[in-house]
A and B are shown apart, each in its own frame.
Chain A
Amino acid sequence: GDSVTQMEGPVTLSEEAFLTINCTYTATGYPSLFWYVQYPGEGLQLLLKATKADDKGSNKGFEATYRKETTSFHLEKGSVQVSDSAVYFCAAQGGSEKLVFGKGTKLTVNP
């Protein structure tokens, strides 16, 4: 079945540092890909998504590009802020409505 693998955390950065969280997927066909973010004590929120190869999703300074050749959807941000501290989940949606999530990567940004 479909699966998503994302880099293990936790990740700790200083404010204004560059962020990369790796995500790769295994799926039949061409799934839609998502990044969700979970702030402490809250539910998951959609951060960005991409539906086909070479699409770039972006939101709040975060970006991820759908790379079919490497089956990847890495999350990047050029300059993180303390308010970006959260858990980030990569997810894939294949032929059904089901989302398959990675295990999550906890990001802590220190001032």
Chain B
Amino acid sequence: DAGVIQSPRHEVTEMGQEVTLRCKPISGHNSLFWYRQTMMRGLELLIYFNNNVPIDDSGMPEDRFSAKMPNASFSTLKIQPSEPRDSAVYFCASSLRTGGVETQYFGPGTRLLVL
């Protein structure tokens, strides 16, 4: 049973470049979450979707960040233009919203370094 799949696993880019991170949630899950993890700020929720619709994007740092979920099996997080302070590990997680307790399942993360 495949878990959450993220690509790329590692990304090194230069300041000003566009970065696109990809996520494939677990099949059948209807909620998807994007997190950012840094030493300074810990784990932060950036945005989450339910049934492909963005529900809460209050954690998105600024307009340089955007996220889409065109269908139930794919989501992207885009940073344009990227800056060195965006360097972090970005995690995607998915869950099945049933109205009860919803366990989130995390992908392996994308380690982003912006030079």
Contact = CB atoms under 8 A, between A and B. Distances in A.
Interface of A: 32, 34, 36, 41-46, 49, 51, 89, 93, 96-99, 101-104
A97 B45 contact: no
A29 B95 CA distance: 22
6 contacts: A43-B108, A44-B106, A89-B43, A93-B102, A98-B45, A104-B42
A9 to B, nearest CB: 12
Contacts of B97: 97
Interface string B81-115: 00000000001010101001111111111000000
B50 interface: yes
Nearest to B9: A41
A93 B101 contact: yes
Given A89-B43, A93-B101, A103-B42, A98 B109 contact: no
B42 A101 contact: yes
Contact of B91 (A41, A43, A49, A102): A43
A97 B50 contact: yes
Nearest to A99: B104
Interface of B: 4, 31, 33, 42-43, 45, 48, 50, 55-56, 91, 93, 95, 97, 100-109
A1 to B, nearest CB: 11
A43 B109 contact: yes
Contacts of A49: 101, 103
Given A43-B109, A97-B48, A101-B42, 8 more contacts: A41-B108, A44-B91, A89-B43, A97-B31, A97-B50, A99-B33, A99-B104, A104-B43
B42 A42 contact: no
Contact of B56 (A41, A42, A98): A98
B43 to A, nearest CB: 5
